[in-house]
Structure 1
Amino acid sequence: MTKLWVPPHPPRRPKPVPTWRGFLGERARTAVYGWSQLAFQNWYFKRNILGHTVHVVLQPDWVQRVLLDNASNYEKPKLVKRILGPTIGRGLLTSEGELWRAQRKIVAASFTPPAVDALMPLFGEVGQDIAQSWQAGTRDMAVEATSATMRVIATALFSGDPRLTTPEAMDHITAAMEGVGEARIQALLGMPLIPVTRKGRRGRAGQQFLRSTLGAIVRERLGSDAPDDFVTAMIRALLDQFPREEAIELAIDNAATFYLAGHETTANLTSWTLFVLSEQPELQERVAKEARSALENGVDAGLSDRLPFLRAVVDETLRLYPPVPRFDREAVGPDMLGEHEVNSGDLVSIWPWIIQRHRNLWDEPDAFDPDRFAGRRQERHRFQYLPFGAGPRTCVGARFAMAEALTILATWLSQWRFAPVPGRKVRPSGMVTLRQEGGLPLMLSTR
């Protein structure tokens, strides 16, 4: 049997380190850094982090209770809302109850299967345009993937507004994401969210750029001559249900949410997939052959169905490098998760990064094996694979993201080979989403 390739992951100590270590060094910068070996074989941990009781829940049945069976008892934590509020306000990602349901219904119409199918030519056009701009040599594929997904989101949701695809916009968005680490520590300590480091100040500037730019776009759409697109439809629907100023603020909140989440997570998925394929040339050739065959019939609604093996590779990449490695809930009232008591106000932390590598749930959990999702499928609990969340709050754009990633990857792989830069190590980094530390330089050559 061919030995499976094991992609890099942070080192694991035999036993947990003290909680305070999470606020220093790499653990303060990278969410997936610093876990012990025990985390990947136990079902539950309880921690006290600066006075906050945190239950780390890894058993799929208990995850299902939090995200589905008793979801009404678990809300987005106040701490998370405080950290993300300056960027995405009370949009879909951070709202609760009737406000969440109203916004979910409004935006879901733009992500139905027919709506996504209609965007397939756009995905292919962006992928092709970028691929044709390359020359053989070394390129940072994290930057290329971000450029592609930013163009897709700007075109699909914002009628191609040029303010959203500039290098300045890319730099500001990156800074806004990286500035979350400092805000997290301040929020846990109950301090005002005042940037004190250079990274924090750049993060605040990124937030302000995003809010001011999207605020201008939203207000421009209030006229009768606004383009007929996602953001205009959202504004009109919100104006029908909320007072004018509240509707405008919610429109800005959701524009920021979908602009950020819509390109960031898909860019990371695309770049991580290119990374794992660059390290496995034979696997890459198999995927490229499938991509060339699938693209012979053009980029249409059926393209994804013609890429079953690439889909399995992407699914396995999502398992090992989930775009969002953790998400949290706050208990509204008391509950029991198995034999563990949860009190009102406690935090419940769910980690796809750990669950999707857990030794009691997966064979050779750290190895890259797309056959888990193609061919010999193993039986899985529905809550042990959570790349897009689960339950009522599953990512509304999951179908969009998957179709986009598959189309762009197929387009690029059909024309170019990707190889690692000798001597360069790739490591995951980030507190909110998983990027490659320092980008992803790869060596490109034409097929």
Structure 2
Amino acid sequence: MTYRYPNKLPFFQLFLRSSSITRNPIPFHKEGFSKHGSSFAIKPPFAKTVMLTRDAEITKHILQKNHRNYNKSKIQTKFLSKYVGKGLLTASGDYWLKQRRLIQPAFHKEKLQKLVVIMERTIQKQLENIPENQITDTYPIMNELAFHVVAKSLFNYSSDENTMHRLQKIIETLQDFIIREIRQPHKKWWYKMTGMIQKHMELVYESRSIIHKIIEERRKSNENHDDLLDMLLKAKYEDDGTSMTNDQLIDEILIFFVAGHETTANALTFTFHLLATNPEACQKVIAEIDTIEEGLSAMGKIEKLTYVKWCIEESMRLYPPAWITDRVAIEDDSFAGYHIEKGTMIGVSFYELHRNEQYWERPNDFIPERFSEESRKKNAAYYFPFGAGPRMCIGNGFAVYEMILTVYSLLKKYAIKSVEKDIQIAPLITLKPLGATLKFTKRM
């Protein structure tokens, strides 16, 4: 069988630069795409070919058109599931489909309308803690806010702040260690020998125990909380009418925390940085915010904040929190003039695809009008901030509502000024901002 791949980079080039690529693979990807076009390949010795792409048609082929021929790699299914369980993000096959069908209704628009009330109240409370008139790192503020929005929306908890802070600390510690283990597989023996893996597995058991206790208390309670946990407890499987077990609930809740708070914190930090460094767009946002009448419902605000939404979408084009994904071919496949062998891993760089000059004019500029009604349809074919196909992020509506309400609530109260024109990025599991400092001043 003759296989055809895009241009292959010599593996020794990758090997010689492995430490810098481990720290930040984006410059390596950018160089490969600029030399070889929208796709290139690497053939490691004694392993299947790895292909990297920023091609929209290939992306749609593997994530949508022929998605049944592709599984997530072990990086996502094996490494992540060890720490956060077998939830929607890490499951595959029939079990994933069964869970997706069960959970999807909890994220329909009419269900989210109940959650946005909790969401707005939580955002406003978190923004009370913003330090005024001083240079402040924005990310920790947004991270704290996003965690509390997820926690409140899941549990609508009222009193036990200490438990939630402990859960937050555990999840962030686990995320940091997951990144180290994925990026440095050669050190696995060291992590095992020094007890680091065991230490982090103990944190997994503690986090599961915390969530288990919350679920048990809710099962015994007759109160209605209108939160996600209520919806998940009431959800029934189509085939036998049963509900999720506690272990299944814990798996899904951990995934919501991991996938739902850091990504949103990243996107909000990038959005505020871009608004602060693009005064014209920021003025349009403020003008729109100032047209919203007092007393309008949270959902009513969301529906009227059109330009705010464009700014968030453009921010997620430039800095997609889920900046890369991968799939492994189950069987041989053909697309875009290539014929690939089963077992080939394909990495899709959404970061590079969203900046590909083939699809975007002035791709590195912040132009929210790209998402106006007349431009949106054209750009939709090249825009994947939440992935694509059946495995598109289930919480995309939740995240967009949260971000719109956060931008509204913060800029209603504060003027923002950027100290740094440029922002640094850390492409970890998510695309993380570094050194995004702002000055918040009360609006007159």
AA aligned to 2:147 is M
Give yes or no for contact 1:429–1:435 (8 Å, CA) kept in 2.
yes
Per-residue CA distance 1:376-408 (angstroms, 9 max, x = gap): 627636442100011111111101100110011
Specify the SS of the correspondent of 1:65.
helix
Structure 1: stretches of 5+ with no match in the other structure: 1-14
Work out the number of aligned pairs and report it.
429
Which residue of structure 2 aligns with residue 28 of structure 1?
A: 22
* 2:344 corresponds to 1:346: yes
Give yes or no for contact 1:319–1:385 (8 Å, CA) kept in 2.
yes
Alignment of 1:226-245 (within 5 A): 228=225, 229-235=227-233, 237=235
Question: Which deviates further from its counterpart, 311-320 or 78-87?
Answer: 78-87
* 2:151 corresponds to 1:151: no
Distance change (3 Å), C-alpha of 1:36 and 1:240 = closer
Which residue of structure 1 aligns with residue 370 of structure 2?
A: 372
Shift of 1:215: 3.7
Within the candidate set 40, 59, 62, 1:45 is matched to: 40
Larger helix proportion of the pair: 2
Which residue of structure 1 aligns with residue 95 of structure 2?
A: 99
Distance between the aligned counterparts of 2:100 and 2:67, measured in 1? Answer: 16
User: How many percent of aligned residue pairs carry the same amino acid?
Assistant: 23
Within the candidate set 403, 428, 444, 2:440 is matched to: 444
Alignment of 1:3-402 (within 5 A): 18-20=13-15, 23-25=18-20, 27-39=21-33, 42-49=37-44, 51-134=47-130, 135-160=132-157, 162=160, 166-185=164-183, 187=185, 194=191, 207=204, 209-223=206-220, 225=222, 228=225, 229-235=227-233, 237=235, 247-294=245-292, 296-374=294-372, 377=375, 380=378, 382-402=380-400
Distance between the aligned counterparts of 2:299 and 2:361, measured in 1? Answer: 34
Per-residue CA distance 1:40-62 (angstroms, 9 max, x = gap): 57121111346242121322222
Distance between the aligned counterparts of 1:202 and 1:18, measured in 2? Answer: 36
Shift of 1:77: 1.4
Specify the SS of the correspondent of 1:150.
helix
Distance change (3 Å), C-alpha of 1:78 and 1:193 = farther
Per-residue CA distance 1:272-297 (angstroms, 9 max, x = gap): 10111111233222211211222535
Shift of 1:441: 2.8
AA aligned to 2:67 is A
AA aligned to 1:20 is F
Q: CA RMSD of the aligned region, Å? A: 3.3
AA aligned to 1:72 is R
Shift of 1:67: 0.9
Structure 2: stretches of 5+ with no match in the other structure: 1-9
Distance change (3 Å), C-alpha of 1:297 and 1:102 = same
Shift of 1:300: 2.8
Question: Which deviates further from its counterpart, 131-140 or 200-209?
Answer: 200-209
Question: Which deviates further from its counterpart, 307-316 or 287-296?
Answer: 287-296
Per-residue CA distance 1:206-248 (angstroms, 9 max, x = gap): 6455334334434444546576542354245479979999833
Give yes or no for contact 1:123–1:408 (8 Å, CA) kept in 2.
no
Distance between the aligned counterparts of 2:376 and 2:231, measured in 1? Answer: 42
Give yes or no for contact 1:46–1:56 (8 Å, CA) kept in 2.
yes
Q: TM-score, normalised by structure 1?
A: 0.85
Distance change (3 Å), C-alpha of 1:303 and 1:22 = farther
Specify the SS of the correspondent of 1:125.
helix
Question: Which deviates further from its counterpart, 289-298 or 301-310?
Answer: 289-298
Distance change (3 Å), C-alpha of 1:164 and 1:266 = farther
